[in-house]
Amino acid sequence: MFSVEHKIVYALFYADISNLKWKDDRLAFDAPYSQISLSMKMLELIWKPDTYFLNGKESYLHKIPTSNRLVRLSKDGSVLYSSRLTIKASCPMNLQDFPLDKQICPLWIGSFSYSDQEVTYRWKTKGDSVDWKPIQIDNGVVLSQFDLLGTDWNHTRYIYQDNFVYKFIGMNIGLKRHTGYYLLQVYIPCFMLVILSWVSFYLNREATSDRSCIGIMCVLSLATLSFDVRNDIPNVPYVTALDWFLIMCYLFLFASLLEFTLVHYFTKVGYGDNLISNDPDSHDEQSINEELSHQNSANLPSIEKIHQYKSKKKLKYYLQMFWKCLTSDSIFKEELKKRAHFKGINSVSKCDKMARLFFPASFFILNLIYWCVYYF
């Protein structure tokens, strides 16, 4: 039997210990039968190892309907002691990949008072049989939070104390956390909130209250969701995989609000986006042609040089527009307002058009990196 109780950074798991076998030459006997069963009172009169579980927290012996113990003595002095003992042991957990993490829970068994020179513990072997396993786990065990990956047992640990060496043998139990609960309760709602925030990119820049309400509502919803999730997560001093995902969602929501703020502050004056750009190609075409017409016909520039010259003029024009927006140039705004009645309202910003492509693409790329790092 195996189960896990997840509370803090240390998980508590239960394991049933059944068989211990040792040999005591003083108990050898000569009889026609190979084994005899001993009573529990006889067990108190013979020597037995003081088995100790190094990382055990609690233990109890099953007594339903009677004490679940068995003692058998062989002719050569070998004693088989079987009992149904349930151990509650601690399992140190590294939650940096939570909730996409895998954990290894150890169980260390040894003697409490006898050193390695006096008593040595080892796992039982059964000849050369490859299929033999000293640790048997019920295949029908179903855990609420973990999948059982497997076990291994060839582990040894030594503790040095008062010039004595104490040897412990150990087994490891591999666990993988179920992600279905967190997908339904955390990841999918966060995906929906981030996608919902992109709706504001499809609204006109004049819809100030609508766009701000969408952004604030998404941020508050994500904050409430993250607070509820943190109540079920152990308090650890490092950032988990779930924290990184929530931080990424927060950044996208705040970026959506910041994008709307920039659009509202720098471009919204009750007119369309075409008023601001004013098509620099047509704006500069005449000046470029006039400048080129004054050159000597024998030294006309090539087509490549003309395109380079136009690109420089475009860059200069956009930089000038950007600087006027940053400095809130009053003359520039007055010129734009004079043209507003010719262009109308309910316009869509070019920044919004770019955000419609940039935000989903970047969110997809970051999620691809996230799931490749933590899940696969």
Quick one: residue 38, left, alpha or beta (phi over 0 = left, psi -120 to 50 = alpha)?
beta
Would you state the pLDDT for residue 296? Answer: 45
**Residue 160 CB partners (closer than 8 Å, separation 6+):** 166
Runs of H (alpha helix) within 144-240: 180-182, 188-197, 208-230
Q: Where are the domains of the chain?
A: 2-178, 181-374
Its pTM stands at: 0.73
Name residues of the chain where pLDDT drops below 70. Answer: 1-18, 126-132, 267-314, 318, 322, 324-330, 332-347
Superfamily of domain 2-178: Neurotransmitter-gated ion-channel ligand-binding domain (2.70.170.10)
Query: Is 136 exposed, middle or buried (CB count within 10 Å of its CB: 0-12, 13-18, 19+)?
Result: exposed
The pLDDT assigned to 273 comes to 42
What local confidence, expressed as pLDDT, does residue 300 receive? 45
Give the model's pLDDT for residue 208. Answer: 83
CATH architecture of the domain 181-374 equals: Up-down Bundle (1.20)
Sign of the CA dihedral running 92, 93, 94, 96? negative
> Phi, psi at residue 302, to the nearest 5°?
-75, 170
d(Cα 221, Cα 196) in Å, to the nearest integer? 11
